[in-house]
Copies of this chain bind each other. A is one copy, B any other.
Amino acid sequence: MKASEPARGMTAAIVARHSNGPGARAQGVYRALRRAIIEQALRPGMKLPEDTIGENLGVSRTLVREAFGRLAVEGLVELKPNRGATVAYPTLEEARDVFDVRRGLERMVAETLSGSLTKPQAADLEAHVRLEEAALGKDGPESIRLAGEFHIRLAELTGNALLLRYVQEVSSRCSLILAIYGRPHSSECAVSEHRQLIEALLAGDAARASQLMDHHLQAVAARALLAPRQERDIRELLIPYALSEGLAQT
C-alpha cells in the first residue's frame, strides 16, 4: 500500500462528509472506525495497523492513534503496548459485565422518564417503534440498528448527558458482543416489549417501567449469551486460536 494512494473504501467518505473545521478530521476518523466496528466491517479480533488505517482514511497515524485511544476507553478496541490495536474481542465474562451494567443504566433511564414523558415524546417513540416493525420483515442490519436506537432515544429524553453517554457506550459494546456471541436469527428486541415500555412510562408507573426494561434486556442478554448452541460455540472457540496464528483475518 502506497502512501500516495488517495483515501478509499466506504469509511473515507464519512471523514470528508462532515464539516471540515479544526478537529473535525480527528472526530471523523473516530466515527468512521466506530461505525466500521459496530457494523462489523471490522470484525472482532481483527488487527488494526495504524498506517494502513490512516492511508485508507486519508489521514496520518497521529489521528488514527487518537481515535484508537478513545475507542479503547470505550472498550471497542484493545490496545497492547508495542503490539498495536485490534478490534476488541470481549470474553463471555466481560460480555456479562457489560449487559449487567446496561440493565442497571437503562433501569435508571426508565425510572427517570417514568411520569415525565410527554405525549409528543411518546408519539415520537411510537413512530420509531413502527419503523422497527416495518424493518422486522427484511432481516437486514436495519432492524438491529433501529432496535438499538430506541434505547438511545430513551436515554436522550432523560436530559442527562452523562447517562446518555454511558448508554451509548454500553450499546456499542453490546453490538460488538452480539456480533461475537449472538445467534444469527435473534431479532434482539421484541417490538411489543418496546410498546409496553412506552405505555408504562406514560402511565407514570415507575416500578413497572423499570421491571419491563429489566426483563427486556435480560431477555436480550439471554438470547445472546446463554445456552449457546454447540455448533456455533466450537466455531467461536476456535477464533482466538486462529487469531494467535495470524489466520482468519478476512
Q: Which residues of A contact B (CB under 8 A)?
A: 21-23, 62, 65-66, 69-70, 73-75, 81-82, 94, 97-98, 100-101, 104-105, 107-108, 112, 160-163, 166, 170
| Contacting residue for A81 out of B21, B105, B161, CB 8 A | B21
Given known pairs A21-B81, A81-B23, the reply for A166 and B163 (CB within 8 Å) is no
Count chain B CB atoms within 10 A of each CB in A97, A105, A162 and give the residue with the most: A162
Cβ of B23 and Cβ of A101 under 8 Å apart? no
Residues of B near A75 (CB, < 8 A) are: 162
Say how many copies of this protein the assembly contains.
Answer: 2
| Contacting residue for A97 out of B22, B62, B163, CB 8 A | B163
Residues of B near A170 (CB, < 8 A) are: 162
Residues of B near A21 (CB, < 8 A) are: 81
Tell me the interface secondary structure of chain A in the complex: helix
Cβ of B108 and Cβ of A101 under 8 Å apart? yes
Cβ of A100 and Cβ of B160 under 8 Å apart? yes
Residues of B near A161 (CB, < 8 A) are: 94, 97
Residues of B near A100 (CB, < 8 A) are: 108, 112, 160, 163
Apart from A97-B163, A100-B163, A101-B160, what are 12 other A-B pairs with CB-CB below 8 Å?
Answer: A22-B81, A23-B81, A62-B62, A69-B69, A73-B73, A75-B162, A94-B162, A97-B161, A100-B112, A104-B104, A104-B163, A166-B166
Cβ of B70 and Cβ of A162 under 8 Å apart? no
CB proximity of A28 to chain B, nearest CB, Å:
13
User: In the complex the two chains form, what is the Cα distance from A161 to B91 in whole Å?
Assistant: 12
User: In the complex the two chains form, what is the Cα distance from A65 to B69 in whole Å?
Assistant: 11
CB proximity of A207 to chain B, nearest CB, Å:
13
CB proximity of A105 to chain B, nearest CB, Å:
7
